[in-house]
Amino acid sequence: MSDNIRLALMRQALALYDATDDGATVAACHLQAAVDAEQGLRPMQPGEDIDPEIPEQLRNWLS
Amino acid sequence: MSDNIRLALMRQALALYDATDDGATVAACHLQAAVDAEQGLRPMQPGEDIDPEIPEQLRNWLS
């Protein structure tokens, strides 16, 4: 239960970073790592492929 | 303004980690780093001294 609450709090904070264009700050990157770790996500491993949709989404987001 | 809100959200989440004895998990450590970075705190530098009260507090906390 408190797992869900702390994840929700972190996601709200992360959304605020993104909303204020601070999504690439050191603090936001640490926070993203915390959200990933809370969900048991690992860093990308050798041999794994990047989802081809992600670079496309990034391009759209940056243009 | 939103700086304060995101810091407050992260501190609430961190308090939940501590309250559930998850304060030393990977996620909590990343979250602590995010809180520190948001406040402009740096990692300890060569030549800096640890506050002598901190080991004492740790000892009390562990005993």
pLDDT, one tens digit per residue, over A19-57 is 999 999 999 999 999 999 999 988 788 888 888 888 888
Query: For chain B, which residues make up each domain, given as ranges?
Result: 1-42
Measure CB to CB from residue A13 to each of B9, B26, B30 and give the nearest one.
B9
Cβ(A30)–Cβ(B33) under 8 Å? yes
pLDDT value of residue A1:
67
Name the CA dihedral angle for A38, A44, A48, A51, rounded to a multiple of 10 degrees.
80
**Are A16 and B9 within 8 A, CB to CB?**
yes
**Inter-CA distances, A62 with A5, A55, A58, B56, Å:** 32, 10, 6, 50
Alpha-carbon gap: A45 to the closest alpha carbon of chain B (Å): 18
Interface predicted TM-score of the whole assembly (ipTM), two decimals? 0.73
- Interface check for B23 against chain A (CB to CB < 8 A): the answer is no
